[in-house]
Every structure is written in structure tokens, then in C-alpha cells.
Amino acid sequence: MQSPLVSEKKRKSVVACQEEEQKKRQCVLYRSELEMRDAPIPCSPVTLLCEEPPDEMEEYERLCLLSERHTCAFVSGEITSRMRAQLVEWLIQVTSYLRLSQEALHLTVNLLDRFSWLSLPQVSPVNFQVYGIACLSIAAKFDSCKFPVFEDYVYACGYAFSVDQITRAESQVINALNFEVVAATACQVVLLLSRKRPPRAQSMALYLSELSLLFANFKKFGVHTVGKAAVLASHLYLNLATDWLDQYPAPDTELCAKILLKVFQDATLSDSRYVRGVYRRYNCEQHFFVAKGNS
């Protein structure tokens, strides 16, 4: 039988050997990390695909297909067009407050209209706003990796709805849409077609497309038509060439452009708080004061 002293020495020797082995392993790992850091990064298929932007015509055709797939009419029921405009204008203010993108706003309205169309009996003036918040929350998650938390939406709606109510509404929206959240928007079409155009023309086209969100009558046009019409109307107003737009087909573009220009002129003179909210958003130096027009 070994004495306690011998057993303790043996144990310390084993522990020392284990510590030495661990130090060697850490040195090897550290050298490997340095070699990996200094080594050239191989190009993955995703990196190669993202190096060059997609062809404009191919991307436009893809947006047209998505637009036709998710086309829906505005069915009023208990929700009037005035109530819809009021909620959309409030959502515009919330997206500005939460610093969300214009694409998130357009996707929010798209989700809201599609959900209202598919789930008309569930939507009422009482819960219309919470469904709007739920659609905004879903759109924000799809638009950016950094999205607001539910408490931000609770604060934005003045604590009228709880986190549980918003999450429950989110689940209802996603299930009603059969998880088909991604959709084409007029904002995507505007950004695509005006990518190589003057910044002022792009800002005005975005302003016109955002004004169209307030009016349910534009639902009769596809979003690709509204997007192209917004670009056409902005170029006509700013006396820019428009012949290059002929290569992008869209039905009723000229009619939609005329309506957008009429809405633009009315918004400049209107005292309606719904229109004035969008007007203030684009009446700034960042957007070249396009809401004022040429005045």
C-alpha cells in the first residue's frame, strides 16, 4: 500500500503533465489562428454572386412576377379607406421614429393589405392597429439584421397593446399569408430603375411611391406599375429624358403617372394631416426638398 505522501506526489506530477499538455495545445491553436488570419480568404459562391449587381432587366422581371403573384384588391368591410390612410400615415411616423428603411415601410403596407384581404372577418377597427404593428415588426425583421424589440412598438402605440398581443397578431399574419412574407414593392422598383439616375429624381420617385401607399385606389395597379409610374412622373416633372423607360414593360403606366402627379400637386396644397406627414418626411435637405416641387 502506497503512503499518502507518495500518492500526493504522483497526483501533482499527473496534474503538471496535464497542464503542460494544455499549454502546448493552446500554442498550436494560436499558431493555427494566426495562419488562418494571414491566409487569403477563399471566394465562396455567395461572395462571387454578390460582387456584381444583378442585371436590371432580370431583376425587374423578377419583381413583376412577384407583383402579379401577390396582387390583392382593397376590400373595405369595416375598414374604410380613410381608416387605412390614417393607419398608414401613423406607420410612416413610426418607421421614421424607429429609423427603419423605406423598403420596410412598403413591405409593411403590402403585408397589411394582403392580410386584410385574406382575413377580412378577423380585421376590425378595434384590432386594425395591432395588425399594422405586427406587419411592421415582420417587415423590419426581413429588412435588416438590427430590428426594434417589441417594447419599442409597445411604446410607439402608447401602450395600447401588450407584447403578447403583438406576438399573437404576428403569428396570425404569418399563418394567414402561409409564410409568404417576401414580396415585390414599388420602392424596390423605384430603387432599381433610378439607380443610375440623378439623386433628386430618385428622391422624388420615392416620395411619389410613398404617397401612393396612402390611397387604396392604387391597389388596382400592380406595384411594378406604381414603381415605374413614380419614376416616369418624377422624370416628367423634372424635365428629364424618359425614353429609356420603354424597355421596362408595365400596363397603365402613363395613367398611373398622371394620377401620381395629381396626388403630388394636391399634397403640396393640402392641409390633410395624412398627406402632410409624408410631405414633412420629404421636405428636407436629405431629399432635396422634393415635396415642395420647383417652388
**pLDDT band with cut points at 50, 70 and 90 for residue 37:** very low
Tens of pLDDT, residues 175-196: 999 999 989 999 999 999 999 8
Residue 178, CA distances (Å) to 30, 137, 239 in order? 48, 17, 44
- Are 91 and 132 in contact by the 8 Å Cβ rule? The answer is yes
- State the pLDDT at residue 76: 61
pTM for the whole thing? 0.78
Q: What is the pLDDT of residue 55?
A: 80
For helices 199-213 and 223-237, angle between their N-to-C axes, nearest 10 degrees:
130
Burial of 35 by CB count in 10 Å (0-12 exposed, 13-18 middle, 19+ buried)?
A: exposed
Mind listing the pLDDT tens digit for each residue in 255-268? Answer: 999 999 999 988 88
Average confidence (pLDDT) over 42-49: 38
Residues in Cβ contact with 142 at an 8 Å cutoff, skipping those fewer than 6 apart = 104, 107, 181, 182
- Measured CA to CA, the distance from residue 76 to residue 12 in angstroms comes to 81
Identify which has the larger pLDDT, 217 or 274. 217
- Give the pLDDT confidence score for residue 257 in this predicted structure: 96
Answer yes or no: are the C-beta atoms of 147 and 175 closer than 8 Å.
no
Task: Measure Cα distances from 200 to 60, 62, 173, 204, 253 in Å.
Answer: 22, 26, 36, 6, 21
Query: Which residue reads 499538455 in cell numbers?
Result: 21
Q: What is the pLDDT of residue 80?
A: 87
Three-state SS sequence of 152-184:
HHHHHCCCCCCHHHHHHHHHHHHHHCCCCCCCC
Residue 62 has pLDDT above 50, yes or no: yes
pLDDT at 121: 75
Q: Enumerate domains of the chain plus CATH numbers.
A: 75-176 (1.10.472.10), 186-292 (1.10.472.10)
- pLDDT at res. 35: 42
Share of the chain above pLDDT 90, in %: 51
The predicted structure's pLDDT at residue 74: 62
Kindly report, residue by residue over 211-257, the tens digit of the pLDDT.
999 998 898 898 999 999 999 999 999 999 999 999 999 999 999 99
pLDDT score of 13 more than 90: no
Kindly report, residue by residue over 73-117, the tens digit of the pLDDT: 666 678 888 899 999 999 999 999 999 999 999 999 999 999 988
pLDDT band at 20 (very low <50, low <70, confident <90, very high): low
DSSP state of 55: P
Rounded Cα distance, 267 and 261, in Å: 10
Question: Cβ(113)–Cβ(72) under 8 Å?
Answer: yes
Neighbouring C-beta atoms of residue 99, cutoff 10 Å: 10
Q: Quote the distance between the C-alpha of residue 187 and its chain's center.
A: 9
Residue 67, pLDDT score: 80
Q: What is the DSSP letter of 250?
A: -
Give the three-state DSSP class for 190.
helix
